[in-house]
Amino acid sequence: MTTAKLNKASEQLAFGGRQIRFTHSSEVLHCEMQFSVFLPPQAEHKAVPAVYWLSGLTCNDENFSAKAGAQRAAAELGLALIIPDTSPRGEDVPDDADGAFDFGLGAGFYVNATQKPWQKHYQMYDYILHELPALVEAELPLNEERAISGHSMGGHGALVIGLNNTEKYRSISAFSPVCNPTDCPWGRKAFSHYLGDDKSLWQAYDASILLRAKVSAPPILVDQGTADNFLEEQLKTQALEAANKESNNGAQIRYQEGYDHSYYFIATFIEEHLRFHAGNLSSKQNI
């Protein structure tokens, strides 16, 4: 199968739907990109809403599709899953000089880079917000209803993109998100390289700062494991809780006792997150 702009790399059947991996040439990222899609069985006869899933550091588009076990619930609920990669890829795409896991390839942080040599390729914010939805909604049986979710660095991306663009997403959720990246080592490293030293420019990509300033936000669900070894130094969930309380937005921020940062945690609660999103998407696509 080749559509106007998508090349199908693989396809498997799952729960009556189709799990597909596509490649395409990205005009925003200036490289060849890959992403995965789960189309539920309802998509065979009508357009369905989509949940965009943003993965975390070191991941690509296949981590969530292979490990989260999300397809069964998505098939029942009539939700498409759109699963992009975490950064641009290719021989011409710059990487961390030391090959560190928390910056460069696999670590795009869902920002629009402004600094050399990163700015040409590392425009993941615009890719997720504009290019990818326009592409899949034109080429696949999707309607224009969207929700957004993610894990860790991807949870940061989901919160930031959702809060900055409340008209485009019916709901937002996150697992173990980087909640206050302007004040954690991962965020400071990424933002200083991608965005430069002017910290005022970092604030547009900090979920805690954005939520605190929001008069009205879409429904938000956040799950955080208490046994997550990144919780205190990197994730800073308490900053998001404080912002939620100050803004009175009513986000659900839940601590799950004993759960860690892994995909076992995501697999345990992903059905609840998908049902949360389905409840906020008006065009429920039940069989």
Candidates 95, 160, 101, 93; CA nearest to 126 is 160
Residue 4: its pLDDT value, please? Answer: 56
Whether 228 is a known active-site residue: answer yes
Q: Of the residues 171, 228, 273, 277, which is catalytic?
A: 228
Q: What is the CATH number of domain 7-282?
A: 3.40.50.1820
Residue 261: its pLDDT value, please? Answer: 98
pTM of the model: 0.96
pLDDT digits (tens, 9 = 90+) for 89-104: 999 999 998 889 999 9
Whether 261 is a known active-site residue: answer yes
Residue 5: its pLDDT value, please? Answer: 87
Helix (H, G, I), strand (E, B) or coil at 197: coil
Instruction: Report the C-alpha gap between 283 and 110 in whole angstroms.
Output: 28
Radius of gyration of the chain (CA): 18
Instruction: Report the C-alpha gap between 215 and 197 in whole angstroms.
Output: 29
Q: Of the residues 156, 261, 273, 277, which is catalytic?
A: 261
Which pLDDT tens digits describe the chain residue by residue (287 residues)? Answer: 334 589 999 999 999 999 999 999 999 999 999 999 999 999 999 999 999 999 999 999 999 999 999 999 999 999 999 999 999 999 999 999 888 999 999 999 999 999 999 999 999 999 999 999 999 999 999 999 999 999 999 999 999 999 999 999 999 999 999 999 999 999 999 999 999 999 999 999 999 999 999 989 999 999 999 999 999 999 999 999 999 999 999 999 999 999 999 999 999 999 999 999 999 997 444 43
Map out the domains of the chain as residue ranges. Answer: 7-282
Strand order in the sheet with 31-39: 7-14, 17-26, 31-39, 80-84, 48-54, 142-150, 172-175, 220-225, 252-256
Q: Quick one: which H or E segment has residue 64?
A: helix 61-67
Whether 208 is a known active-site residue: answer no
Q: Of the residues 152, 171, 173, 176, which is catalytic?
A: 152
Beta strands 80-84 and 17-26: pairing type? unpaired
